[in-house]
Amino acid sequence: MTGFLRRVLSPYRGLLILVILLQLGQSFLTMYLPTINSRVIDYGVANADAAYIMHQGILMLGIALIQFLLSTLAGIFGAKVALMTGRDLREQVYEKLIHFSRRMIGSMGAPTLITRATNDVQQVIQFITFLFTAIIAAPMMFIGGLVLALSQSVKLSVVLLVTIPLLLGVSVVFLKLILPYYREQQTKIDEMNTVLRDQISGIRVVKAFTKEQGEKERFERINGDLSRINTSIGKITGLMQPIFTLTMSFANISLIWLGGRMAGNGQVQIGQVIGFVTYISFILTATLMASMIFIMLPRAEVSVTRIEEILNSESEIQDREDAFLPEQFRGEICFEHVTYSYAPDNEQVEPVLKDISFCAQPGKTTAIIGSTGCGKTTLLDMIPRLADVTEGTVFVDGMDVRKLLRHELDQAIGMVPQKAFLFSGTLEDNLRDGKPDATQEELWEALSIAQAKEFVEKNERGLKMKISEGGTNFSGGQRQRLAIARAIVRRPSIYLFDDSFSALDYRTDQELRRALKPVTQNAAVIIVAQRISTIKDADQILVMNQGRIEAVGTHEELMQSSRTYQEIVASQPTDKEVAS
């Protein structure tokens, strides 16, 4: 924890030093005020010296104003450091997340990653904010209060021998009680985010299968568990304050009783007793603040551990030190004995891809077809390095993709994923993801090629039309066409279509592919599809089965040589049947 705080706060050393100085100043002034107050009572009030009382009162007022100013500035600058640290942490977590491979994201889970980037970072911010006050003020108030209290009366300090150990003991007990609940709380928040994400994303499925009641019960179960944990935490923290207050009240009563007796015997003056009570309150308040640190620390430690799991994770997909940028991409893609496994260290896990070898040439269309789960999407992921091969090599223009700069490789690829995802914002923003400096003419041309221009023009806002999260305000076919348009805007050397035509009717499918030909005539095109009508005109078709390439050829060749391909064709309607 200490090393983590030192690292994240190091960029703000100057502000930290300023906060420390301000806190020291206001703490010193806070402790000096009771000394003046005791002098007013012992000398001013006892001797009925109005001038002395007025002089000391003005001094106390001036000190109080300076103390207020120092405290305010310390709070402002301390909050600024805490918030900027939180901003930096979120940026660091996000920077890590966007470079995570698909395997790493899948192993952790999206909901917990979101929680760690938001809720856990917020817990750290809250702890740092409180720490700036307690870590400086508490020790100074404790030590200063103890020294000044002893200077007033050593005999009265006997009360501290009972009170301070009692407060520390209570703090330790509360710490042991509350730590397990904080750990479980973060886990339950992850689970709740998972449930909410599933239910919101899959609301249509929930309604279609009339699962509202079941999903409601599922949410209520998680919500109930989280509520019980929060209630337990609330009970423990709720008990802590009254116990501390009771202890401090007991100390004050004891001091007044003992101090009163000593004052009656002439051993101390009344002002000394009042000053001692004030200093004791400083000591006890400092002890309480230290206890609060120990109460907040477990939750912060849990959050720090979860954040560091992300920050200390290294994606297996990194640019090598010898990575380079070719002068120009032609678009030739070759797989050479490629094997891929999600768990390469576990021999019991069967590889998804096994000994894949083929080449896709510029100006040619390569289609991939096969049963669900045979590795088609994973194969495409090897090209832009969304995943790296376990064995073998993927070449682009004769160069190992692992030796190319990822950013530049991405610029040469226009990929339309299996799930046509659109970002919230405007249509224009989404299209410009493919090419930030694209002109209006280029955007409309891409929409026209993707057969999306007509329904975009019908919207009164045109390119400025709003897109909801994930593009849920469009139909499946519309989303696919917009995603294809986004890839076309880039005009890349390599087009990767991962089952990107499945939601289109046959006529739109044919018109889109016909419009694509002039655009892709010098680029390599790889299409993953299930419909024979989509791929039958491809220059080569790869038939995949159980992670292997079972057959390669044109439609006519495969109709003669591949039984698997024949079965796929037989299971689908012919062009005549579709036309009718």
**Residue 525: both structure tokens together:** 């095109």
The total domain count for the chain is 2
Q: Residue 368 sits in which domain range?
A: 363-375+408-579
Give the CA-trace dihedral at 239, 242, 244, 250, to 10 degrees: -140
Q: Clarify whether residues 291 and 430 are in a common domain.
A: no
Q: Clarify whether residues 62 and 189 are in a common domain.
A: yes
Q: Clarify whether residues 56 and 124 are in a common domain.
A: yes
Residue 542 covered by a domain: yes
Q: Clarify whether residues 164 and 63 are in a common domain.
A: yes
* Residue from 480, 467, 456, 485 nearest 534 by CA: 480
Residue 135 covered by a domain: yes
Query: Residue 405 and residue 447: Cα distance in Å, rounded?
Result: 30
Residues sharing a CB contact under 8 Å with residue 251, sequence separation 6 or more, in sequence order: 159, 160, 162, 163, 280, 284
Residue 358 covered by a domain: no
Q: Check residue 42 and give its pLDDT.
A: 66
Instruction: Provide the 3-class DSSP secondary structure of residue 439.
Output: coil
Last-in-domain residue among 311, 327, 353: 311
Which pLDDT tens digits describe the chain residue by residue (580 residues)? 677 777 888 888 888 888 888 888 877 787 777 777 667 766 766 677 778 778 778 888 888 898 889 888 888 888 888 888 888 888 888 888 877 776 777 667 677 777 788 878 888 888 888 777 766 677 777 777 777 666 666 666 677 777 777 777 777 777 777 777 877 877 787 788 777 777 776 776 777 667 778 878 888 888 888 888 888 888 887 777 787 778 777 777 777 777 777 766 766 666 666 767 777 777 777 777 776 776 677 778 878 888 888 888 777 677 777 677 777 788 889 999 999 888 777 777 888 899 999 999 998 999 999 888 888 888 998 888 888 888 999 998 888 888 888 888 888 888 888 888 888 888 888 888 878 888 889 899 999 998 888 888 888 888 888 888 777 788 888 888 988 999 899 888 899 998 888 888 888 888 888 898 888 888 899 999 888 888 888 899 999 988 899 999 999 999 988 888 888 888 876 655 554 4
Say if CB 97 and CB 117 are below 8 A apart: yes
Q: Clarify whether residues 269 and 189 are in a common domain.
A: yes
CATH number for the domain harbouring residue 182: 1.20.1560.10
Does pTM surpass 0.75? no
Cβ-based neighbour number of residue 178 at 10 Å: 22
CATH number for the domain harbouring residue 441: 3.40.50.300
**65 vs 19, 56, 76, 278, 279, CA distance in Å?**
18, 14, 17, 19, 20
134-139, long-range: CB within 8 Å, 24+ apart, which pairs?
A: 134/289, 134/290, 134/292, 134/293, 135/293, 136/19, 136/20, 136/23, 136/24, 136/27, 137/23, 137/26, 137/27, 137/286, 137/289, 138/286, 138/287, 138/289, 138/290, 138/293, 139/286
Q: Clarify whether residues 425 and 507 are in a common domain.
A: yes
Query: Residue 320 and residue 338: Cα distance in Å, rounded?
Result: 20
Q: Clarify whether residues 44 and 159 are in a common domain.
A: yes
> In terms of DSSP H, where are the helices of 117-269?
121-152, 158-201, 203-208, 212-264
Three-state DSSP string of 51-116 = HHHHHHHHHHHHHHHHHHHHHHHHHHHHHHHHHHHHHHHHHHHHHHHHCCCHHHHHHHCHHHHHHH
Residue 385 covered by a domain: no
**Residue 390: both structure tokens together:** 């376990």
Give the CA count within 13 Å in the CB-facing half-sphere of 56: 19
Q: Clarify whether residues 371 and 304 are in a common domain.
A: no
Last-in-domain residue among 311, 327, 344: 311
453-462, long-range: CB within 8 Å, 24+ apart, which pairs?
A: 456/427, 462/427
The 10 Å CB-count burial string (b at 16+, else e) for 485-521 is bbbbbbbbbbbbbbbbbbbbeeebbbebbeebeeebe
Q: Clarify whether residues 180 and 261 are in a common domain.
A: yes
Q: Check residue 263 and give its pLDDT.
A: 66
Q: Clarify whether residues 285 and 371 are in a common domain.
A: no
Residue 474 CB-density burial (10 A; 0-12 exposed, 13-18 middle, 19+ buried): buried
DSSP 470: G
Residue 17 covered by a domain: yes
Say if CB 201 and CB 239 are below 8 A apart: no
Q: Clarify whether residues 369 and 287 are in a common domain.
A: no
Q: Check residue 343 and give its pLDDT.
A: 77
Say if CB 416 and CB 500 are below 8 A apart: yes
The 10 Å CB-count burial string (b at 16+, else e) for 534-557 is bbbebebbbbbeebebbbbbebee
Residue 331 covered by a domain: no
Cβ-based neighbour number of residue 454 at 10 Å: 9
Q: Check residue 339 and give its pLDDT.
A: 92
Query: Residue 481 and residue 497: Cα distance in Å, rounded?
Result: 11
Say if CB 185 and CB 230 are below 8 A apart: yes
Q: Clarify whether residues 426 and 500 are in a common domain.
A: yes
Residue 519 covered by a domain: yes
* Residue from 42, 1, 303 nearest 135 by CA: 1
Query: Residue 129 and residue 127: Cα distance in Å, rounded?
Result: 5
The 10 Å CB-count burial string (b at 16+, else e) for 291-321 is bbbebbbbbbbbbbebbeebbeeeeebebee
Quote the strand ranges of 522-579, DSSP E.
524-528, 540-545, 548-553
Last-in-domain residue among 293, 311, 329: 311
Residue 383 covered by a domain: no
